[in-house]
Structures are given as structure tokens and as C-alpha cells.
Amino acid sequence: MAGFEVGIIATIFFGGLAGWLAGKFMNMRFGILMNIVIGIVGAAVAAAIFRRLGIFVEGDWLGYLLTSFIGASLLLFIAKLLRR
């Protein structure tokens, strides 16, 4: 996501929003702190996967939110698999 720098406040906001949306989508509920952590870690995971596959998401706030959501959903999917 070159060209778009996200500050710490924006990272927390987008991470929390993405984690909350992913929790709703995957039907898993966590607290706000865990949503933020899942969203931020999910963003890093998805960005690394996308970069490895040569997929580049548009470098704006929507692209960052989309990447965070996909990564957080992926983390929650893996968590569901491991819970069983």
C-alpha cells in the first residue's frame, strides 16, 4: 500500500473498524481491544499476502480498510478452524 501513510490514530480506528466488521461477518464477538488487535494484525497479514501475490490495493483509506477487513476475516477463519 505504497503512497498512503497511516498514523497511529488512523491505524487504531481502521483496525478497530475492520476487526469489528470481520467479527460481524464471521459471527465471532470480541471486545473493542481485541477488535483493534485483530484488525491491525489482519492488515499486516493481508498486506504481506497481497504483496507476495503481486496484488496491490489502491493506496487510500478504503483500500486500507478493505485490506484490514480481509486480513482480519482470514485470522478469524483460522481461529474458527483451530477451535474445533
Q: Is the pLDDT of residue 84 over 80?
A: no
Rounded to an integer, what distance in angstroms lies between the CA atom of residue 17 and that of residue 40?
10
pLDDT digits (tens, 9 = 90+) for 41-60: 888 888 888 888 888 766 67
pTM for the full model? 0.78
- pLDDT at residue 59, as a whole number: 67
Q: Which long-range contacts (CB under 8 A, 24 or more apart) does 26-33 make?
A: 26/73, 26/76, 26/77, 26/80, 28/76, 28/79, 28/80
Q: Are 1 and 63 in contact (CB under 8 A)?
A: yes
All three cell numbers of 3 = 503512497
Task: Round the average pLDDT of the chain to a whole number and report it.
Answer: 81
Residue type for position 17? L
pLDDT digits (tens, 9 = 90+) for 4-37: 555 777 777 888 888 889 988 988 877 778 888 8
Which residue in 41, 31, 32 sits closest to 73, CA to CA?
41
